[in-house]
Amino acid sequence: MATNGAPAQPAGPPLQSRPKRPITGDEEAGSTLRLGEFQDVPTLNLSEARTIINAVTKYRRNKDSETLVKTQDYLELFARYKQPEHVNAVEQLLSTRTELDSFERSQLGRFCAP
């Protein structure tokens, strides 16, 4: 609370993150898929992302950042398929489902049986 006409100071430490962008309401993964500016953008499932990031970092010469290491740890934990032939088989299976959006195929890729 302000005293003697001084402006009130916010409680706690100052924010360290970027401000959130305003919600526009044009993104929703519900019964009707609305992804806004990402509607027709190709997507990857976690196993595909793991494969690509591991391949790229294998040839990097500089030290990996903390964020990259955490991302790799996350993908190692949650990517269901570790073998390249399994990742390719899931992608081939789901690519036949043309009625699904790329985002939907990526999400379903987590549930396919190896």
Q: Residues 19-50: pLDDT tens digits?
A: 776 666 677 677 777 777 777 888 888 899 99
What pLDDT does residue 59 have?
81
Establish if 84 belongs to a structural domain.
Answer: yes
Establish if 12 belongs to a structural domain.
Answer: no
Domain, as residue range, for 76: 42-108
103/40 Cα distance (integer angstroms):
9
DSSP state of 105: H
What pLDDT does residue 7 have?
58
Establish if 113 belongs to a structural domain.
Answer: no
Establish if 9 belongs to a structural domain.
Answer: no
* pLDDT over 80 at 61, yes or no: no
What pLDDT does residue 92 have?
87
Establish if 90 belongs to a structural domain.
Answer: yes
Report the domain count for the chain. Answer: 1
| Comparison of pLDDT for 105 and 31, the residue scoring more | 105
Establish if 99 belongs to a structural domain.
Answer: yes
78/72 Cα distance (integer angstroms):
10
Establish if 7 belongs to a structural domain.
Answer: no
Establish if 17 belongs to a structural domain.
Answer: no
**How much is the CA Rg of the chain, to the nearest whole Å?**
21
